[in-house]
Chains A and B, each alone.
Chain A
């Protein structure tokens, strides 16, 4: 069986990829994708720990389901906002969306 640490390393790598995307990309959709990657790396962690440590118990899966639903809702809202911004300003580059700057 694959050792637990492999999953954790993979999840950490995925999380870092997502974090990099959030911090370094300028496209709002790419940032959203980065957030998704981070959320899913959390899910992988949860599932890996669950599978190796608490297997038949169901409670961990509830967390995963909640994270999934939250991620889906967040994507839906985020994409709607991005589309709405794009319609008004024809750009999704976050540096250009600076109306709130003081």
Chain B
């Protein structure tokens, strides 16, 4: 099979698995997950085959693998074509998507307690609460998820959408995959739909990303109108066209067409990748099951937003304003979310804010022109953040086990209830440590160091001092909250009985952790810059050449970055942050307050409440919307005006009816009929003589009538 055919086939197995699970195998849990994982393995295999077949191809970005079909006629004989493509960017994206999707599918089997008994009181729509094992020494064990098959169906559909997005060769099919993922995200966040918080979070995620998507659609329409195509290579590989777009004014805010459409598409990214004004949905999305958080909100869907931004970078880079907006939003989000992450207590929420912050990093990297660094960080981040999410899921799982064991009533996600899990869950601890160190950019060994260092040197070399400083500060905070998380969760002594009884999770959960941990370390090695003292050049910086060739003006900012200042900075912030985190939290005892809360209570409260942005949005968007719908639309327009008019018409009709009855019907019509009916007997009497009883008379009458009819017939029909 050639690469083109294989590319077409990559998204299909998960879609088939989705359809089969929904329609046929819904009742059989083992069959459902086998289908889903089998499909994921097929897609993974195909992705690896195409990835390794192009990885050594020279000039892939100039001559990408393409295959397309005419899809929709756009005129007499012109067609809108859709198809698949493989260039360096989609190849590396395909690589990490395939790996993370596969590991997360396998992990879900263990996470949803496959093989455990049915729960005592479990109902669909609520997380399983445990089952009692009867017999001698009755005890409670975790119970299997009631809607197990449904979960695998949804994540299969999600995987289909992600693969579609990655292999598609135009912005329209990208948008289709993008929207299907939005739907899956909604369905999966609200997976435990009997919980109000989950329902609200699902609606919030859907509506917030919709805001971005509407602008993105506007951008697509505008771009199509300006260029007549949405194909990547036809737009982003055509320098002449890009130059025209960059110099034609759009008439909106003094932007060029490239700037306007680039920014509109970028707003789509802001929604999907949870950048600053539209970031509020991502932390709430943690209501979903953990594999969902890992897959949708760390590794794939939010990465799709950055993927889009990287795709459209040649367009955006035509406009200085658009780049500036990107770098401001990115850098601000990176710092802003990192500060919040440092004050959260829920283990998954810390990671959620950390994701927002890291995505901000990538956007800022694009804003300063560090194209390759953004793509590099996208790849490494997908691995280590998926690892961290799955690790936190494993921790929560272990804690739930402890909670079942001790019958304590506590939140198994709150880090203050943990502590000392290092000894209970060694495999989870070591993999989480690797992921955490990669996130904080621990020097030399972890992938996060190399990608983050590249972003910092990109910002430094481009002379973007503010962005550089902000990102460095954010990196310090990242290392700090990561160490806080690791210390609170794994180090020290158990602070609750449940933590003391926590338990390592099954192999279906730990194996994906090990695989991801492997990539969290090694994924960075393909991008070690050659000028790096000591080990630079030992491993060929393949990533830089491979992905960097996507840009026509390749590596202007990156080439100049030989300075060691950003390197020293990233070393200092990573190690310093880790040390500070350890210093602050290693002595925490059970029942103690957060050291930051003790030192600066006001700041801590502000951070813990996420700068009150949710409350602000509640005040300026949700409450007015509610007021409009309840008071204005319902009470004033609907109840008063429309209902008033309708009731008025009804009352008018009633009045009219009464008038007609009393003034016309009763006096005129009725009297006429009464008069008429009184005349009827007289009429009868006057006709009575006709019935004489003499047959001949009847006969004469009959013949007269027949003749008359015949004459008339003849006169009208035959003569005429």
Contact = CB atoms under 8 A, between A and B. Distances in A.
Interface string B67-84: 000001111110000000
Contacts, number: 10
A61 interface: yes
Interface string B251-272: 0000000000000000000000
A16 to B, nearest CB: 19
A77 to B, nearest CB: 14
A56 B74 CA distance: 9
A57 B75 CA distance: 7
Nearest to B72: A61
- Contact-size category for B: under 10
A56 B76 CA distance: 6
B24 to A, nearest CB: 17
Interface in A28-84: 55-58, 61
Contacts of B76: 56
Interface in B64-118: 72-77
Contacts of A56: 73, 76-77
Contacts of A55: 73
A56 B75 CA distance: 7
B171 to A, nearest CB: 20
Nearest to B79: A56
Contacts of A57: 73
B71 to A, nearest CB: 12
Contacts of B75: 58
B639 to A, nearest CB: 13
A25 to B, nearest CB: 18
B637 to A, nearest CB: 15
A24 to B, nearest CB: 20
Interface string B389-415: 000000000000000000000000000
B19 to A, nearest CB: 16
A68 B288 CA distance: 32
A56 B70 CA distance: 11
Contacts of A58: 73-75
A61 B75 CA distance: 11
Contacts of B77: 56
Nearest to A50: B73
Nearest to A58: B73
A55 B72 CA distance: 10
Interface in B619-650: none
A61 B73 CA distance: 9
B476 to A, nearest CB: 49
Nearest to B74: A58
A57 B77 CA distance: 9
A43 to B, nearest CB: 14
B634 to A, nearest CB: 11
Nearest to B76: A56
A61 B74 CA distance: 10
B183 to A, nearest CB: 15
Interface in B370-406: none
A58 B72 CA distance: 9
A29 to B, nearest CB: 16
Interface in B132-184: none
Interface centre among A55, A56, A58, A61 (most CB of B within 10 A): A56
Contacts of B73: 55-58, 61
A75 to B, nearest CB: 15
A57 B74 CA distance: 9
B462 to A, nearest CB: 46
Contacts of B72: 61
Contacts of A61: 72-73
A58 B353 CA distance: 48
Interface string B406-447: 000000000000000000000000000000000000000000
A14 to B, nearest CB: 15
B519 to A, nearest CB: 43
A49 to B, nearest CB: 15
Nearest to B78: A56
A55 B74 CA distance: 11
A49 B72 CA distance: 15
Nearest to B73: A56
A16 B72 CA distance: 28
A56 B73 CA distance: 6
Interface centre among B73, B74, B75 (most CB of A within 10 A): B73
A66 to B, nearest CB: 16
Interface in B324-347: none
B227 to A, nearest CB: 20
A56 B77 CA distance: 6
B75 to A, nearest CB: 7
Interface in B41-78: 72-77
A55 B77 CA distance: 10
Nearest to A55: B73
A58 B74 CA distance: 7
A35 B67 CA distance: 37
Nearest to A60: B73
B82 to A, nearest CB: 15
A61 B72 CA distance: 9
A79 to B, nearest CB: 15
B693 to A, nearest CB: 50
A65 to B, nearest CB: 11
A75 B579 CA distance: 58
B78 to A, nearest CB: 9
Given A55-B73, A56-B77, A58-B75, 7 more contacts: A56-B73, A56-B76, A57-B73, A58-B73, A58-B74, A61-B72, A61-B73
10 contacts: A55-B73, A56-B73, A56-B76, A56-B77, A57-B73, A58-B73, A58-B74, A58-B75, A61-B72, A61-B73
- Nearest 10 interchain pairs by C-beta: A56-B73, A56-B77, A58-B73, A56-B76, A61-B73, A58-B75, A55-B73, A61-B72, A57-B73, A58-B74
